[in-house]
Structure 1
Amino acid sequence: MSKTESDSRTGGDLPPAEELKTAIAGFMHDFKHFSNGVNAKLQEQDNRMNKLDRKTMMTARAPLAAAATQDAPHQKAFAAYLRSGDDDGLRGLDLDGKAMGTSVAADGGYLVDPQTADTIKGTLSSTASIRAISNVVTVDATSYDVLVDHTEMGAGWATETSGVTETATPQIDRISIPLHELSALPKASQRLLDDSAFDIEAWLAGRIADKFARSEAGAFVNGDGIDKPRGLLTYPTVENEIWEWGNIGTVPSGMAGGIQGGDAIVDLVYALGAEYRANGTFVMNSKTAGTIRKLKDNDGRFLWSDGLAAGEPARLMGYPVLIAEDMPDIAVDATAIAFGDFGAGYTVAERPDLRVLRDPFSAKPHVLFYATKRVGGAVSDFAAIKLLKFATS
C-alpha cells in the first residue's frame, strides 16, 4: 500500500508508528477479503462434489432398490390368489421374460412368490435333518446324476531310464437321483382369509415348511426310494473290514443292543478315511445321544462336550453331532449312529420352483392349499459314511 493511499484513509500525515499500524490494518482487511473469497470458492466446490457423490450413490443403489421391489407385483398377485382365488394378476404376470400363465392350475398350481419360497427354503435348511449337512443341488430336470470315480488311477516316480507303468483306466459309477413330488395340504377358513390383518403368506409358508421338513427328514433316513428319496439306512450294509462299493460299512459296538465304553466310538471315527474324517459329523436321535453323552475314555474324560455358544452343535470326540429324530433307537443290531462326511456322502437334489393350487371346493367351508415341490435324495459316495451297529460283530 502506498503512502498516498494510507494518507487518504487517515486524512493526513501520521507518525511512523501510526502509519505502520494503519498499513498492517489495511493489509489484514484486504487479506480477510481475499480469504473469504477463497473459502466461498472451496465451499461451492465441496457442495458440487457432495451433490455428485449423492447422485453416484443413488445411481449405485438403484439396482438394489429395483431388486427389492421387482418381485412386489408377484407377491401382491399371489396374495390376491390365496385370499380370493383371483388369478388374473398371476396369469398376466411376466417374470424374467417368462409369462406366469404357463404355471396355471392344470400344471400343478401357481409358482409361490420369492419371499414365501425363501422363507420355506430357509426353514428347511435350518431344521434338524440330513439336508443340513448334505450336498444340496438345484436342478431343472427330473433327475440328477452323480458321477463318482472310486478307483485309484495309479501314479509313480519316473526316471530317465526306467519304464513308466501305464495308468489304469478309472472306473466311473453313475448314481442317478430321481426327483419325487413332495406335497402339503394346509387349510384355512374363508372368513380368516378375508381378514386383512391375517398374514396369509407367513401362515402358508410356516405350514408348508413344517410339513415339508418332517417329510424330508424321515425320507432322508428311512425312505425306500419309491415315490420318495432313498434314506441312508436303506442301503445294504457289511462289516467295514470287507466293505466294497455299493454297501455302507458298519462297526460293531461290542455289545448286543448296547455299548459299554468309548472304544466303539473311536473305532467308528477311524473306520472313516482321513479324506472324509476332517468333515465328519455324527448323526443320532435324542435318546441315543442321552446314552452316548455318558461315555468316558480310559482316563475318565467324557467324550461328549456341549456347544459353548448358542446354536453351536454338541461335539463327540471333537466332531459335531446332528440330532435327527428319525434315526433308530439303540437296539439289537440297530445302526443307531452314523458318522461321515455327508457333504460328499449324501446328495439332495431339488427343483427351485414351489407351486400352490387353491381348492375352495373339497373341504367347504375351508379352503385347501395344495403345495408341491420336487425333491430327491440318495447316497452319492458309499465310502464317506460309516454306521455303528449295536451288536457284538
Structure 2
Amino acid sequence: MMKNITKAPISRGLQAVFAQANEDDGVAQILAKINELKASKDNEISALKEQIAKAADTETVNALKTQLAQSEQTINSLSEQIAALQLNGGVGSPNAADKAAHDAILAYMRMGDIHSELKKSDNGNGGYLVPTEWDRTITDKLQEFSPARQVFFVQPTSKPTFEKLYNLHGSTSGWVGETDERPNTNTPTFKTLKFETGEVYANPSATQQILDDAEIDLGQFLATEVQNEFTLQENKAFFTGDGENGKPTGLLTYAEGGTNATKHPLGAIKVVKSGDANKITYDGLIDLVYSLPSIYAQNAQFLMSRNTIAVVRKLKDADGNPIWQPSLQAGQPSTLLGYPVVEMAEMPDVAANALPIAFGDFKRGYMILDRKGVSVLRDNLTKKGYVQFYTTKRVGGGVSNPEAMRLLKIAA
C-alpha cells in the first residue's frame, strides 16, 4: 500500500511519459502509458536474462547483471507509480473532489528531479495518496448517571405545585368510670408542605448548512446531549439542590444542622455519627441500621458513592468476616449488613463531617415531581442561517418523609 512507500525514483523514460501527458488526461490514460513502458522494460529484462545464461566470461556476465539490476529498479519504480495512481482513483478521470490530488500527481510526475521522494507528510509529494479515514462515531467523555429515579418515588403532576398533607397526631384520651364526665379530648393537628416544580433549559444552536452536510445526524446528537445534561443536573439537585428558582430541594440539605433542617413538618433527617472523626466504622454502621424504625427498615437500602463502597468493602466484623456480601445473582445488588447497596455518584465521599451514606426506605422518603417531560422547539427563524434547539424540562423534588431515612456523618 502507498503508506509503506518511502522512495519512488522516477526514470527518465517515465519522465518522458508524463511530459507528454495532457492536463485533461485522466488516471486511466496515464496508467495506459505507464503500462506500455513497463511492458517494454519487462521484455528488456527477459532478453538480459537470456544473454546472462549464454555468456561465457565473467566480465560480460557482471556487465549484463548491472543492466538487469537497473531495469528491475525501473520496473519497481513503475509498479509504485501505478499503485499510486490506482489509489488516487482507479480507472476513469478524477472527479471534482479528487482534482487537487490529481493535479498534484501530474506535477510531481513531471518534475525533473529523479531523486524526488513520495512522502505522506507532504501533500504535493504523495500525501494526497494517503487519505485520512474519518471516524464517523463520537467517543463521549465519561458521564456518570445515577439511578435516582429508580430509587426515589416519582410523582407525575398536572400542576406547577404539589401539596402534601401531614398528620402530626396530637390526639389524647383518658380512662373514665361508668358515670364520670367525659370532657373533650385533643384532636390531631395537620400541616401541609408545598413542593414546587422548576424549569431546566438548554438552547444549543447550529448552522443550517452544517446540519445539512454533517456526516452524522447533528439534530439527534444535540438532543441526546441535552437529555444527558438534564439528567446530570436533576440528579445533582435531588441530593444537594437549594430549592431556588424551582430547583429541587436536595435530600442532604434536610439533615440535622442542614440548610433545610426546619423546612419539613416532620422535622430533619436524623444523623448518626460514624464513631470516628475521619472514617467509617463497623459499629457506626450498626448504629445507623438500627436507628431506623423497623417499619421503614423492611424496604431499606444504602446509598453511597463508588469511593465509599471501596472503603466499606474492606470493613470486617469482630470475628474478621467481611460485612459486605457480593451479589450471587445477575441483576441483584450486593448487600451490606443484609441490606441492598445502590451506587450513587452524587453522594459525598468519606471525609471529616461529610455525609457519605444514606440509609432508608427512599420510595417513602424522597419524592420527584414530573410536571412535563423534555420539550424541544426547533427555531430556524430567530437567527437566520441558524437552527436553535430550545429544550426544556419541568421537574421538582423534595423530602416527603424524613423519618424514613437516616444519614451517616463522619464524626466521633
TM-score when scaled to structure 1?
0.59
Query: Take 2:189 and 2:181, find their aligned partners in 1: how far apart are those partners?
Result: 24
CA contact (8 A) 1:148 1:381 kept: no
* Alignment correspondent of 1:367: 387
CA contact (8 A) 2:146 2:346 kept: no
Indicate how the Cα distance of structure 1 residues 366 and 245 shifts in structure 2: closer, same or farther if over 3 A, else same.
same
Query: Take 2:178 and 2:321, find their aligned partners in 1: how far apart are those partners?
Result: 56
**Counterpart of 1:391 in structure 2: which amino acid?**
A
Deviation at 1:331, TM superposition (A): 1.2
Query: Take 1:317 and 1:143, find their aligned partners in 2: how far apart are those partners?
Result: 39
Deviation at 1:211, TM superposition (A): 0.7
Matched, 1:356 2:381: no
**Counterpart of 1:315 in structure 2: which amino acid?**
T
Matched, 1:287 2:307: yes
Given the alignment, which residue of 210, 217, 220 partners 2:235? Answer: 217
* Alignment correspondent of 1:323: 343
Matched, 1:275 2:295: yes
Indicate how the Cα distance of structure 1 residues 132 and 168 shifts in structure 2: closer, same or farther if over 3 A, else same.
farther
Deviation at 1:364, TM superposition (A): 8.2
* Alignment correspondent of 2:286: 266
Three-state SS of the structure 1 residue aligned to 2:238 is: helix
**Counterpart of 2:266 in structure 1: which amino acid?**
W
Q: Deviations over 1:136-159 (max 9, x none)?
A: 111111111111224375789999
Query: Take 2:315 and 2:331, find their aligned partners in 1: how far apart are those partners?
Result: 23
| Matches for 1:1-393 after TM superposition, within 5 Å | 127-151=145-169, 153=171, 168-191=186-209, 193-194=211-212, 202-227=220-245, 228-237=247-256, 245-259=266-280, 261-360=281-380, 367-392=387-412
Larger mean CA deviation between 303-312 and 380-389 belongs to 303-312
Query: Take 2:345 and 2:288, find their aligned partners in 1: how far apart are those partners?
Result: 20
Q: Which runs of 5+ in 1 are unaligned?
A: 1-125
Q: Deviations over 1:344-366 (max 9, x none)?
A: 11111111343212244788866
Q: Which runs of 5+ in 2 are unaligned?
A: 1-143, 259-264
CA contact (8 A) 2:170 2:187 kept: no
Three-state SS of the structure 1 residue aligned to 2:252 is: helix
Indicate how the Cα distance of structure 1 residues 252 and 183 shifts in structure 2: closer, same or farther if over 3 A, else same.
same
**How many matched pairs?**
263
Three-state SS of the structure 2 residue aligned to 1:179 is: strand
Deviation at 1:222, TM superposition (A): 0.6
Query: Take 2:151 and 2:175, find their aligned partners in 1: how far apart are those partners?
Result: 38
Deviation at 1:314, TM superposition (A): 2.5
Where relative contact order (Cα < 8 A, 6+ residues apart) is larger, the structure is: 1
Deviation at 1:185, TM superposition (A): 3.4
Deviation at 1:247, TM superposition (A): 1.2
Three-state SS of the structure 2 residue aligned to 1:294 is: coil
Indicate how the Cα distance of structure 1 residues 163 and 391 shifts in structure 2: closer, same or farther if over 3 A, else same.
farther
**Counterpart of 1:230 in structure 2: which amino acid?**
T
Three-state SS of the structure 2 residue aligned to 1:383 is: helix
Q: State the Cα RMSD in Å.
A: 3.4
| Aligned-residue identity in percent | 40
Query: Take 2:227 and 2:380, find their aligned partners in 1: how far apart are those partners?
Result: 21
CA contact (8 A) 2:211 2:219 kept: no
Query: Take 2:397 and 2:239, find their aligned partners in 1: how far apart are those partners?
Result: 10
TM-score when scaled to structure 2?
0.56
Deviation at 1:162, TM superposition (A): 9.8
Three-state SS of the structure 2 residue aligned to 1:368 is: strand
Q: Deviations over 1:248-274 (max 9, x none)?
A: 111110100212x31111110111111
Larger mean CA deviation between 314-323 and 137-146 belongs to 314-323
Query: Take 2:194 and 2:321, find their aligned partners in 1: how far apart are those partners?
Result: 44
Three-state SS of the structure 2 residue aligned to 1:299 is: coil
Structure number with larger C-alpha Rg: 2
Three-state SS of the structure 2 residue aligned to 1:354 is: strand
